[in-house]
Amino acid sequence: MANERLTNFSVTEFPKNRPYTVVVEGNIGSGKTTFLNYFQQFDDVNVLAEPVNKWRDCNGFNLLEKLYSDPKKWSFTFQSYVQLTILQHHTLKIKRSIKLMERSIYSARNCFVEQLARTGCIDDCSVSVMDQWFNWAKENCDLCVDLIVYLRTTPEVAYERTLKRNRPEEQCIPLDYFKDIHNLHEEWLCHKKFNCPAPVLIIDADLDQSVIHEEYSKCKMQIFTKQSEKVTA
């Protein structure tokens, strides 16, 4: 398994005077945008959505479209740019006390690059190059995370939601891809088969929007409580 080379890598300690950092993880269509929108109302929270617009326009190139149209050709290019743009979010200096990020450099490697490696869409040589960058970033940049919120969905629900939101680039993604990404999130966040940098809070994201805001409220209480504890520690 390609991920085995990352299992025993430790994260360098960095100063603690930084925002309480929460990353929101989950499959495509798991409801991350809805979750982030809920937290936009709080003045102490800086919300960083996944930089999809950058992936759609890298000096005029739609790398997201290229990835889904020809994964074997474009996976290395796309994931290299993903790694860069998400690293920019990790290292962004903010003045608010809580940083809420959609996905992280960890899920980019442990779920999406891993899926490409297991299915043969990216070769071992390319994975090795990305791992060198990944390990360098963990050693030299503050990638510390305080909490992971896992929006857990069944692949079928995520697939149907993705079709309904009708992003042009995503219409060709097969259900099997959603199953692969779901299984890798489970391996990473539930079974801890490889590097998990923070405690995990699991939310049942299959719930209808009429009731899921109650789950978001519970999550809000935990985030603000833990952030307060961090400040007074």
Rounded (10°) angle between helices 32-39 and 209-232: 60
Residue in this structure with the two tokens 């199953």, named with its chain if needed: 179
The answer to whether residues 223 and 98 touch, using CB atoms and an 8 Å cutoff, is yes
Give the active site residue among 102, 160, 187, 214: 102
Residue in this structure with the two tokens 């149209």, named with its chain if needed: 69
Closest CA to 103 of 48, 158, 157: 48
Rounded (10°) angle between helices 175-185 and 155-165: 130
The reply to whether 102 belongs to the active site is yes
Q: How far apart are CA 3 and CA 135, in angstroms?
A: 12
Residue 13 CB-density burial (10 A; 0-12 exposed, 13-18 middle, 19+ buried)? exposed
- Kindly list the distances between the CA atom of residue 131 and the CA atoms of 27, 64, 113, 214, in Å, as whole numbers in the listed order: 22, 21, 10, 39
Q: How far apart are CA 233 and CA 217, in angstroms?
A: 24
Tell me which residues are annotated as active site. 102
